[in-house]
Structure 1
Amino acid sequence: MTNLTDLLERAADQTPVGPPPLDALYAGATHRRRRRTVVWSALSTAAVVAVIAGTTLAAQRGPAVSPPATSPSPPPAAMRLVGLGHIAIAVPSDWGTNQSRCGTPLRDTVQIDDPSAGQYCMAYRPAGVDSVKLGRGGPDLGVKTDQHITVGGVPALRRQTTCATGSSGVRICSGEVRFSDVWFRAESSTSAAEVDRLLSRVVIVPDQVGVPGYQSFPQVLRGVQYAAVLEQLGLKATFRSTKNVNYLSGQVLGVSPAPGTMLALGTAVTVTVVK
């Protein structure tokens, strides 16, 4: 053991020792810090994606079925809920509403009770535009349904996302989820993945209800009729009147908050009617 120790000491004395490689050490430490930053950024991004993608599709049964008792998780940051009845979808908060021409979205938007939908003109969807359209009605037999799904014990229909190139040369993808009386259609000239991502954000909100539209009814809606619809949904109506010679007395001209806004049960909606 003594000979081995002497041998190691002599070898150490004969081995030249230069200055410590500080530059290399600093570079290595910086590289490791960058790697840790990238890893934490990736983990944070994955967590946000998991929150959005993990939002479960939900629906409501017919009138005899009560919504689930459990409340959903709140929408991700910088998102807002838009819906009909107790069913809603989370969309980016900077999206507009009915940003469309003749029913064709011109920028990222939610379409609900869209006054331009019945107009006809040459309007083309630009590239990179995403949209969600909400409407009332059961499954459309004319629309091919690729998958019967059950969400929380509630049946729904999912139309597979498909893409096609329109006459303007823009590739548009679309998909749809339908429940007993509410449907959500997502369209995107960005990608098919964006359609799937949008439809993954459909939720049920037992303690909130969407403000109903008034322009999509088959007949001219008067204030007392709209108030009855609000009451059935658990909301209240307050009225303000205005003069307008182009409309019938008592006809609804507008509501606030806007259709699709999710409100707590018992909240009042201001209904503007013609004197």
Structure 2
Amino acid sequence: MQPTSTVDRPAAPPAPNSRTFARAFGDVRDAWRQRELWAHLGWQDIKQRYRRSVIGPLWITISMGTTALALGLLYSQLFGQTLSTFLPYVTAGFIIWNFILGVITEGTEVFIANEGLIKHLPAPVTVHVLRMVWRQVLFFLHNLVVYVIVMAIFFPELTKPYRMEGDDFLHPGLSWTALLAIPGFVLIAVNAVWVALLFGIISTRFRDIPPVIHSFINLVFFMTPIVWHVGVLNRVTGDEGGGSGDWRVLIAELNPIYHFVEIVRAPMLGHAQDWHHWVVVGGFTLVGWTLALVAMRNYRARVSYWV
């Protein structure tokens, strides 16, 4: 017999709550499981960009090599640096900076640029972030060709202890510690995901954020030790390497991008390892992922409406 009153009818299942950390974690987990999808899409992005080009993605390497060479030659003269150690420094820093720059600028528009896919492809929103980060990783790998060429030219000078102008200590030179660049870059890529998730969600809701970031990103480049070395901040008359120049180092130390660059660049060049860079990056990783998961918990379901 069918129930005749609402009291006798079975209760309807409660509506699922999309604003939970379990769903936020689930979105990231499901996106990782679909790595064949975003890896294929990221590779197709590069092929599409250079579809009718004769030399294809080699343009990435040529552009990077030309820029690094020009900046290295110019700033080595401006700051009185030895070219054999300063050009590899600029090259490595510029390659890492390019990866960070791409993640930040494209990360702010990652959901806006994928409006069509978000509305028609039933996939976790993190898929679009991983696709963008993977594309930047491929660009980074292409640019490493320039690093290999520069290191091959100046290899004899970099395998023995050497001093950067402005430093009061010797760097040990290239050794097996260069392998530390691998976990360093992995850590940067992990941070790239939360940066794109957090700023991508905010920028999708507030469309003024991407232009603001694009306006200030060039200033951040010149404030970061990419084409200049931290040692030059200590070069004051009669007190090179310390004393009244110490406060100037705060210009670099208070810049979080500097620490991200240094955990990869230092082992790539055989520089002395300063572990406080890893501590700072580790702190940003924990705080950043916490903020990103909070944003995912509260606003992940709204992204498809905001785009």
TM-score, normalized by the shorter chain, greater than 0.5: no
The TM-score with structure 2 as length reference comes to: 0.22
Higher relative helix content: 2
Q: Per residue, is there more strand in 1 or in 2?
A: 1
